[in-house]
Structure 1
Amino acid sequence: MCASGLARNGGNGTILGSGGSRGKNCNVVLLSPLGRMEISGCDKGVHEIKLPKPSVPPPGAEPSVACEVCEGAEELPEPLQQCTAWLRAYFCEPASTGTLPLSALSLCLADSFTRQVLWTLLNDVKFGEAVSYKQLADLAGNGRAARAVGGAMRSNPIPIIIPCHRVIRSSGDSGNYGGGQPMKEWLLCHERLQKEKLAQGGDRKRQGQGQGQERGQAQGQGQGQGQGQGQD
């Protein structure tokens, strides 16, 4: 079954929906910190993201390559434009991914449980989070299907956007990944560090606001005391 993007994900974009035929296929190559990512799709949605051959920077290393399209037609279908913009933000400006629309996804998946698992993963496991195969099976409505969840991860045609790298073993080990275990560990580390930076930035902002309020209160008290002394 080919499912094209009609249902909403938190109001931010279109993702999975009811079936329909695909349009003319188009390909684009995005140069990313992980290497060349090949993306295919049509005007109905993104079909597939092919991860590069394992060539991964050390975990925690800052992206050394600015994401940019290096191959592709001048006029890309809207889903591919949205997909490349989202991936660019994911690697280089993660804070902005929540404000960007997710591209429509056109997936050919025969198994309904696989569709349910990928849908659940996309919607419920957020940036910087991780779940075990058992936990994802529970979220998808069948807690005894942890092994089937592993099969669904292997069937995921759109990694990173559908974040199968966030599914790990119950032991805490990262587990297998289509792009290789080092790539999975890099992605998990990238998200964890970026989430910590965002949290620290929020703390500094709140601290600055608190200090500003304290200064304002102190100035107000000083002005009040000065006015009282003048009246005396």
Structure 2
Amino acid sequence: QSNNGAYTPCVLQSVSLQSPVGELQVSGCEKGVHTITITVETAESDLSCHPAELKPELQHCVKWLQSYFRSAESVSSLRLPVLHHQLLQEDSFTACVLRTLQTRVPVGQTVSYKQLAEMVGNPKAIRAVGGVMRRNPVPLIVPCHRVVCSSGASGRYMGGRGDHIKQWLLFHERQEH
């Protein structure tokens, strides 16, 4: 919002980052990160990035992601990147589920869709929680890969195209615990 109350749209920047799970496209504005998109292609283990004059929150997000891929546990001591996606600004079921997952399920732990529904006070909303995971605009920072089936199966990731990525992320986090 500007001083006269009119809505001022965000000026977005984006940066590409190579990671062990593929190319990450991070976009955001001066207020925070809007989206992280994982491109499912042959992954390289290079964590290089070329942040040409990035806004401070995007710079912080890139550093956070680089730290995560070097050592998942290392991000436990880092400030989470500020998120500025509209889904997370609202006071909605979706925002509540994403915030709860981000703040209450630490590195190396998993939670079932059912448990997450219970954590947000709506134990019958198991399918709705799955829908929220599918629409998560900021994977890795909001760790939807840590949500698994009650049976213990890892479940789908990125509509099934990224199931191997979910397995890699869970293994990456567990090997340090």
Q: TM-score range by the shorter chain?
A: 0.7 to 0.9
Query: How do 1:94-113 and structure 2 match up within 5 A?
Result: 94-109=72-87, 112-113=92-93
Q: How far apart are residue 52 of structure 1 and its match?
A: 1.5
Contact conserved, 1:54 with 1:183, CA < 8 A, in 2? no
Name structure 2 gaps, 5 residues minimum. 1-6
Report SS of the residue matched to 1:30.
strand
Change (3 A) 1:147 1:111: farther
The TM-score, its normalising length taken from structure 2, stands at: 0.88
Q: How far apart are residue 36 of structure 1 and its match?
A: 1.2
Aligned twin of 2:10: 23
1:162 aligns with 2:142: yes
1:43 aligns with 2:23: no
Aligned twin of 1:93: 71
Match of 1:76 among 54, 64, 71: 54
Deviations 1:139-195 (A, max 9, x none): 111111001000110110000110000001111111111151111011001100022
Query: How do 1:118-129 and structure 2 match up within 5 A?
Result: 118-129=98-109
Q: How far apart are residue 68 of structure 1 and its match?
A: 1.7
| Larger CA Rg, structure 1 vs 2 | 1
Q: Distance in 1 between matches of 2:134 and 2:8?
A: 24
Q: Distance in 1 between matches of 2:24 and 2:13?
A: 14
Q: How far apart are residue 97 of structure 1 and its match?
A: 1.1
Aligned twin of 1:201: none
Q: Distance in 2 between matches of 1:28 and 1:83?
A: 10
The TM-score, its normalising length taken from structure 1, stands at: 0.68
Which deviates more, 88-97 or 186-195? Answer: 88-97
Change (3 A) 1:21 1:188: farther
Report SS of the residue matched to 1:51.
strand
| Equivalent AA in structure 2 for residue 44 of structure 1 | K
| Equivalent AA in structure 1 for residue 128 of structure 2 | A
Q: Distance in 1 between matches of 2:100 and 2:60?
A: 21
Q: Any runs of at least 4 consecutive aligned residues in structure 1 with deviations exceeding 6 A, and if so which?
A: none
| Equivalent AA in structure 2 for residue 185 of structure 1 | Q
Name structure 1 gaps, 5 residues minimum. 1-19, 57-63, 196-232
| Equivalent AA in structure 2 for residue 182 of structure 1 | H
Contact conserved, 2:81 with 2:141, CA < 8 A, in 1? no
Match of 2:154 among 167, 174, 183: 174
Tell me which protein shows more helix as a share of its residues. 1
Report how many aligned residue pairs link the two structures: 167
Report SS of the residue matched to 1:148.
helix
What is the root-mean-square deviation in Å for CA atoms of aligned residues? 1.8
Match of 1:67 among 47, 50, 55: 47
Report SS of the residue matched to 2:100.
helix
* Amino-acid identity (%): 46
Deviations 1:117-146 (A, max 9, x none): 001000000100011100000011111100
